[in-house]
Structure 1
């Protein structure tokens, strides 16, 4: 995989910003974590620590799982057959959740997976939980009827409905769910952001620039959360503990992925292999590299010790992807 170096500081502004800035070399180093091989795209990455990392993906009809044990990467062939797998999250080495196309849900760990019945064949795009007894799964077909919201209480899976009064975007899909400090948020189609209040999901305003899909979110504290999205061009939204503020930075393509390597460093990625970093405190964006211009970066995860893993994928024929690793210099 050839990595084309690019470093560019751009302004994070509203739609009228000119995005001018200075260029220069430097910053973290990106490379290939391992050779995916075959006709397979990658979509999700998560780990419980530096020696327990999962990547998931697949092709049009088959899901695939890779696992890193601190020494090497290997394909996990123990899981039941599924459609393409999209997202992974867990609570430890033996408590991992994976979701995907066709209502796929897997729970367990390498060598010991249980397949759950989602009660739907809608695509499932995200999973997150506050605890093993409080897991949320989101999804839905962007051309379908309504978003999918599922909750697992440690024993059973229950479907939840989003009140149309809390969905003025008429969004039909939710793409990710994430929480911190006792609060849980989900983001989705057409700029929809919702929060669970303990009884129902409630829509949150995010500003005029929240007019395109939000695809992912992550944070370090309740007053330091970053959501990313946009299809043709980027959308970035930050949460200060009480309100969301959304911008549409220039010179940045649509974004799919975000993880935080620290309070002031969100690592972000998106269309055509673009990766960079965003400082929520200053709104500065620094483009780092174009890691794989033939596919899009779909997920990023920081291991807490200076390494960020990422995945890219091309989800039409021919399926292909790249396993990425970013190290601090």
Structure 2
């Protein structure tokens, strides 16, 4: 009898307290954005930036009550922006079509001279005097804090293909990925072509280096692979949709977003596929906390995990 009463009491307490327990899940934010969004980055958990077509730049600020303010920032270009990265809250870079490079220094975005007219797809801002950007036709640019310079790869065995993503762990270790299964590794001196032995020339769309031994790469048809030291292995993603972007809040924990609007939770070599809460293609994702993440996509879609 006492055991029966205790069970009833436990159920009652769970039901009474359940409304007060926080439930973390992905939600579509009711924002009024009229452009496709291609990438998102947080310079801090309450200072999020998103960029997209026609030079669109949006800033999301979260106050102490959790209310979000969306500001469309003045952009110095009407060309589509494809990648964004911040080194610290008041230092950011964005790149896009026809070699567009923008810099943010805490007040406004300014256009920088670019050494290329190739479309740029991705940028990673590591420190004040070091950033890398990649783009079409094997384009790699390096930033020294003042100028952008083209990395010459003519005398290498690296094929001329589009590079879609760059991830910098240190100034001596970075990885770039692109079409036809290309993976390039930078050791601080030179770029080398990496053979994984596990892909069939599939287009890679994003890469994130999470520590000195680990990197995750995603691509078309649900491709997801991981680097452990010098070895690469394939991870079951549970989807055949293109996986467009990755973000990690620890060396092995993070998120991936897909063309069909689905989201993948990654934990080491395991994944969990979440059904889409919208049927819109998601293009970018950012997370630096287990309990907070952002995703952006076509038609001004913004989703947040909280």
Fold similarity call, TM over 0.5: yes
**Match of residue 108 from structure 2:** 112
Match of 1:325 in 2: 304
* Aligned pair partner of 2:204 in 183, 206, 214: 214
- Match of residue 139 from structure 2: 148
In the other structure, the counterpart of 1:30 is: 26
Q: For 2:205 and 2:155, how far apart are their aligned partners in 1? A: 20
1:275–1:291 contact (8 Å) kept in structure 2: no
From 39, 44, 59, give the equivalent of 1:44.
39
* Deviation beyond 4 Å, 4+ runs, structure 1: 247-250
- Per-residue CA deviations over 1:221-266 (Å, capped at 9, x if unaligned) read 1223211111xx1111111122322456553311011111334423
Deviations 1:101-125 (A, max 9, x none): 1221110146422201223222110
1:304 and 2:289 aligned: yes
Distance in 2 of aligned mates of 1:54 and 1:210:
35
Secondary structure of 1:225's aligned partner:
strand
- Equivalent in 275, 279, 285 of residue 289 of structure 1: 275
List per-residue Cα deviations over 1:257-303 (Å, max 9, x = no partner): 111133442311111111111222xx32211121322x321111113
Deviations 1:49-103 (A, max 9, x none): 1121101112xxx211111222333333333123011111011121110111122
Say whether the 8 Å CA contact 1:274–1:290 is kept in structure 2: yes
Distance 1:249 1:123 in 2: 29
Match of 2:62 in 1: 70
The normalised TM-score by structure 2 is 0.84
Matched, 1:197 2:176: no
Q: Which structure shows the bigger proportion of residues in helix conformation?
A: 2
Deviations 1:177-235 (A, max 9, x none): 112254111111111110112222111111232521111112431223211111xx111
Q: For the aligned residues, what is the CA RMSD?
A: 2.1
Q: What number of residue pairs does the alignment pair up?
A: 279
Q: Tell me if the contact between 2:210 and 2:252 (Cα under 8 Å) persists in the aligned partners.
A: no
Structure 1: 5+ residue runs without aligned partners?
Answer: 1-26, 141-145, 314-319
Kindly indicate whether the alpha-carbon contact (under 8 Å) linking 1:222 and 1:240 is maintained by their aligned counterparts in 2.
no
Q: Distance in 2 between matches of 1:79 and 1:43?
A: 15
Give the Cα separation in 2 of the matches to 1:75 and 1:129. 23
Q: Take 1:150 and 1:47, find their aligned partners in 2: how far apart are those partners?
A: 23
Q: How has the CA–CA distance of structure 1 residues 326 and 171 changed in structure 2, closer, same or farther, with 3 Å as cutoff? A: farther
Query: Structure 1: how far apart are the matches of 2:249 and 2:87?
Result: 19
Q: Which runs of 5+ in 2 are unaligned?
A: 1-22
Deviation string, structure 1 residues 113-146 (Cα, Å, up to 9, x no partner): 2201223222110001321201111011xxxxx2
- Contact 1:209-1:248 at 8 Å conserved across structures: no
Matched residue of 1:303: which SS? strand
CA 1:122–1:116 in structure 2 vs 1: closer, same or farther (change >3 Å)? same
- Counterpart of 1:3 in structure 2 is none
For the residue of structure 2 that corresponds to 1:69, the secondary structure is: strand
How far off its partner does 1:148 sit?
A: 1.1
Tell me the residue number matched to 2:266. Answer: 278
